[in-house]
Amino acid sequence: MWISLAVLVLVLGLGFYAYRALDQAEQEFKESKWVRTTSATVIRKEPFRCEEKPCVYTSGYGDQVEMKQGESQQRIYYRIENFDQVNEPRRSRAMEAEKKRVQESGPRFTYSEDWYDKVAPGEKVYVQYRCFSDGQIQVWGVDIKR
């Protein structure tokens, strides 16, 4: 009788622990998929023309992208101000990952926007992004409207 009761308590405890672990994993997955919006400041803008063969840059998705020699873009460089929409400790990891990305690849930019002539350095733009559990940021869009 006591052994059966002990086994039952053990199985219920393990079941509860497994449920909590799966619930936490599901929450982490959802956190990584949500697209959030934050503000950013325009640092500068410039027409960019690839003079090298090829020009390589890091996209908002974190991929390495090649431009052919002679191609051009109207680039708007920006700095993301905060990740306040994300809970700790993910927020701290995002700030650290963004700092490292800027050091390695330079400031983020968007290009060929129809609002290129409507913004100036110092103005605000809005960035839609996803934040993964390791803090990596994936930019989904940049716009002058919220």
Chain segment 48-102, per-residue pLDDT in tens: 999 988 888 888 777 888 999 999 999 999 999 999 999 899 999 999 999 999 9
Per-residue pLDDT at 142 exceeds 70: yes
Domain extents for the chain?
Answer: 30-143
Average pLDDT over residues 113-130: 93
Give pTM, 2 decimals: 0.78
Taking only the tens place, the pLDDT of each residue in 36-47 is 999 999 999 999
Share of the chain above pLDDT 70, in %: 92
C-alpha distances out from residue 116 to 76, 113, 131, 133, Å: 7, 5, 26, 33
Asked if omega into 121 is within 30° of 0 (cis), the reply is: no
Per-residue pLDDT at 121 exceeds 70: yes
